[in-house]
């Protein structure tokens, strides 16, 4: 019989956390080992709500105790929470799937360093379609490297706290790397007033926040007489949850290290 993976979900009462709980519950090769909420949450001690009813598991804010005996923690929370969980996972040998965004450079390096001790899949977007889009953008940037201006537009729900989205930034990083640029040196994150002519070496970003938009991303390559748009639209958070489960299963064939969804999906050249 195949090994059943024992999964802990962080941020279990959040929008993404609830979808992750459902995905783990419905997966035949996974079992929900625990569900974490923020310290001091009023939800602590309540039964974990699952599609079709409640679980025997209780929501907990004791991460160390909940992680004991687990195989993988899936964490789509906030940087400070994820890093606290990372320390515990590193100490206890629990692998991590990290879908949290908004990390600064030093925090990202901390995650990379932890890959010396545990397996980590760290990606700004777990969607299979988005990660395929990254490869399409790499191809487009390589071909459209002259005479085309590049603009990235993203839209998310009103509750998202970071901007631009981690996915939009990753799109910019993929394009910049392909063009031999550093995104930190060529990104433009907003325009107002008299800005002058557009610098053709820049990559522009526009952010929309409103309603319940799950996640829309479009990259525009604007040339003379033609425009190419590459767009991904997510209509359900379940796409991210299913991608996260593919990342969980990836650990069966990998050792310690920090990986991304290109590794999980076999897209790395």
Q: Closest Cα to residue 124, out of 80, 157, 182, 165?
A: 165
Instruction: Report the chain's terminal Cα–Cα distance, integer Å.
Output: 34
Q: Closest Cα to residue 8, out of 22, 24, 19?
A: 24
Q: How many residues does the chain have?
A: 269
Compute φ and ψ for 3, nearest 5 degrees: -65, 130
Residue 30: enclosing H or E segment and its boundaries?
Answer: strand 30-35
H runs (alpha helix) in the chain: 15-26, 63-67, 79-92, 105-114, 128-143, 166-178, 183-186, 238-250, 261-265
Exposure pattern of 82-98 as b/e (b: 16+ CB <10 Å)? bbebbebbbeeebbbbb
Angle between helices 128-143 and 166-178 (to 10 degrees): 30
Active site residues: 156, 160
Angle between helices 238-250 and 15-26 (to 10 degrees): 60
Instruction: Report the C-alpha gap between 55 and 158 in whole angstroms.
Output: 30
């Amino acid at each position: 019989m195949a090994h059943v993976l024992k999964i802990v979900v962080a941020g279990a009462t959040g929008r993404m956390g609830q979808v992750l709980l459902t995905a783990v519950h419905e997966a035949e090769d996974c079992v929900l080992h625990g569900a974490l909420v923020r310290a001091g949450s009023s939800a602590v001690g309540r039964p974990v709500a699952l599609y079709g009813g409640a679980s025997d598991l209780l929501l907990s804010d004791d991460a160390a105790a909940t992680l004991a005996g687990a195989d993988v923690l899936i964490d789509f929370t906030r940087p400070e929470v994820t890093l606290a969980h990372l320390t515990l996972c590193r100490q206890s040998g629990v692998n991590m799937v990290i879908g949290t965004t908004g990390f600064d450079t030093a925090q990202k390096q901390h995650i990379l360093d932890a890959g010396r001790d545990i397996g980590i899949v760290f990606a700004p977007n777990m969607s299979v379609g988005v990660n395929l889009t990254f490869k399409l953008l790499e191809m487009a940037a390589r071909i459209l490297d002259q005479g085309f201006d590049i603009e990235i537009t993203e839209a998310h729900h009103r509750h998202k706290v970071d901007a631009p989205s981690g996915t939009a930034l990753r799109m910019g990083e993929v394009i910049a790397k392909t063009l031999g640029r550093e995104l930190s040196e060529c990104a433009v994150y907003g325009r107002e007033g008299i800005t002058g002519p557009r610098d053709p070496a820049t990559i522009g970003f526009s952010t929309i926040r409103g309603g319940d938009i799950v996640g829309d991303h479009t990259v525009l390559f604007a040339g003379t007489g033609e425009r190419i748009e590459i767009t991904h639209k997510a209509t359900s958070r379940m796409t991210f949850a299913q991608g996260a489960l593919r990342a969980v299963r990836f650990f069966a064939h990998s050792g310690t290290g920090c990986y991304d969804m290109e590794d999980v999906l076999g897209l790395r050249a």
